Amino acid sequence: MGKHLELKAADGHTLAAYLAEPAGKPRGAVIVIQEIFGVNSHIRAVADGYAADGYLAIAPALFDRAQRGVEYGYTPEDIQKGFALKNASDIDHALKDVAAALAQVSHAGKVGIVGYCWGGYVSWMAACRLDGLACAAPYYGGGTTTAEAIAERPKCAVMSHYADRDMHIPMDGVQQFTAAHPEVTVHVYAADHGFNCDQRGSWDAAAAKLARSRTLAFFQAQIG
């Protein structure tokens, strides 16, 4: 069970975050970036999971600039509300908030970032634009296969996870991303968008387990 705290971004904005601490000395830190549903019970569980694996895990509430305390579920109505907040969010502001989370946990050692859905896009952009990250693991990042995102260049090691039945991210876009970034490890799963989330109908236990094992091995190699 983690705890809630407040972070302050470089522009003075104050945002909430969920912090999950490991039982012993951290082997490093992991920033967990939300889907379009806020820092809900699933995202907190993801952070708890990385803490159980020995990392200091933090999940910043990136929607706080538009609406504080967002914790949506996965109904069609929640999806509509989540998309509205995502569309109202600015990547530059989001990266300021990620940087605040990075500053909060950097004392633990090397820091990696993992993100899901919109958070996958944010984690990719953080890998490209922020200093101080050891690695990034975007999951089905909507927006990562646009021409603008593909033109970015990562400053750290990246492992990206995609799904071949993802209607939000066409496979031709994934192929373009892969061709443009031979330095990035790309995995594609026989699954749908959101396959990592056990609260969604698209959850795929086998794909989620395999992706997580790969991500953990990646973090162990890059962070410790």
How does pLDDT run across 81-137, given as a tens digit for each residue?
999 999 999 999 999 999 999 999 999 999 999 999 999 999 999 999 999 999 999
| Residue 168 burial (10 A CB sphere; 0-12, 13-18, 19+) | middle
Q: Domain containing 137: what range?
A: 3-222
Catalytic residue among 166, 192, 197, 204: 166
Q: What is the pLDDT of residue 122?
A: 98
Q: Is 3 exposed, middle or buried (0-12, 13-18, 19+ CB in 10 A)?
A: exposed
* Set 64, 117, 161, 204: catalytic member: 117
In Å, how far are 108, 129, 167, 201 from 122, measured between CA atoms? 22, 10, 19, 24
1-5, 73-77, 111-115: least confidently modelled range: 1-5
Give the number of other Cβ atoms within 10 Å of residue 179's Cβ.
10
CB 218 within 8 A of CB 136: no
Residue type at 154 in one-letter notation: P
Question: Model confidence at 142, in pLDDT bands (50, 70, 90)?
Answer: confident
Told to judge if 64 belongs to the known catalytic residues of this protein, a careful annotator would answer: no
- Count CA atoms closer than 13 A to 200's CA, side-chain side: 25
Bridge pairing between strands 56-60 and 3-8? unpaired
Number of domains in the chain: 1
Catalytic residue among 181, 193, 197, 204: 193
Which pLDDT band holds residue 77 (cuts at 50, 70, 90)?
very high
d(CA 134, CA 126) in angstroms, rounded, equals 11
pLDDT digits over 153-212, tens only?
Answer: 999 999 999 999 999 999 999 999 999 999 999 999 999 999 999 999 999 999 999 999
- Across residues 48-67, what is the average pLDDT? 98
Answering whether pTM is above 0.95, one says yes
CATH code assigned at 67: 3.40.50.1820
Task: Let me know if 166 is a catalytic residue.
Answer: yes
Q: Strand locations in the chain, DSSP E?
A: 3-8, 14-20, 29-33, 56-60, 111-116, 135-139, 157-163, 185-189
**Has 117 been annotated as catalytic?**
yes
